[in-house]
Amino acid sequence: MIENCLNNSYNRSIKFSPNELFIGFSFFDPYEKPAEFKTLCFPQSKEIIQDYKNNIKVNDQVVVKNYRCGKFDDKFIGPFLVERVSKRGYWIKLIGDSAWHHTKFIKILKRADCCISKKNNWFFFLIYHFRFSIDKRLIGF
Owning domain of residue 117: 58-121
Distance CA 102, CA 70 (A): 23
Average pLDDT, the chain: 63
My answer on whether 112 and 73 are in the same domain is yes
Other CB atoms within a 10 A radius of the CB of residue 71 amount to 4
pLDDT average, residue stretch 102-110? 63
Burial (CB < 10 A; 0-12, 13-18, 19+), residue 127, is middle
Please indicate, yes or no, whether residues 85 and 67 belong to a single structural domain of this protein.
yes
Residue 25 within any structural domain of the chain = yes
Lowest mean pLDDT among 74-83, 101-110, 125-134: 125-134
Q: What is the CA radius of gyration of the chain?
A: 20
Give the dihedral of Cα atoms 134, 135, 138, 140; nearest 10 deg: 100
pLDDT higher for 84 or 109?
84
Q: 32-36, 53-57, 67-71, 127-131: which has the minimum mean pLDDT? A: 127-131
CB 89 within 8 A of CB 75: no
C-alpha span between 132 and 81 (Å, rounded): 26
Domain count for the chain: 2
12-16, 85-89, 103-107, 127-131, range with the lowest pLDDT: 127-131
End-of-domain residue from the set 28, 52, 76:
52
Same domain, 71 and 100: yes
Q: In this structure, are 116 and 66 located in the same domain? A: yes
Q: Tell me: do 45 and 63 sit in the same domain.
A: no
pLDDT tens, position by position, 37-86: 555 555 566 666 666 666 777 777 777 777 777 888 887 777 777 777 77
Same domain for 42 and 95, yes or no, is: no
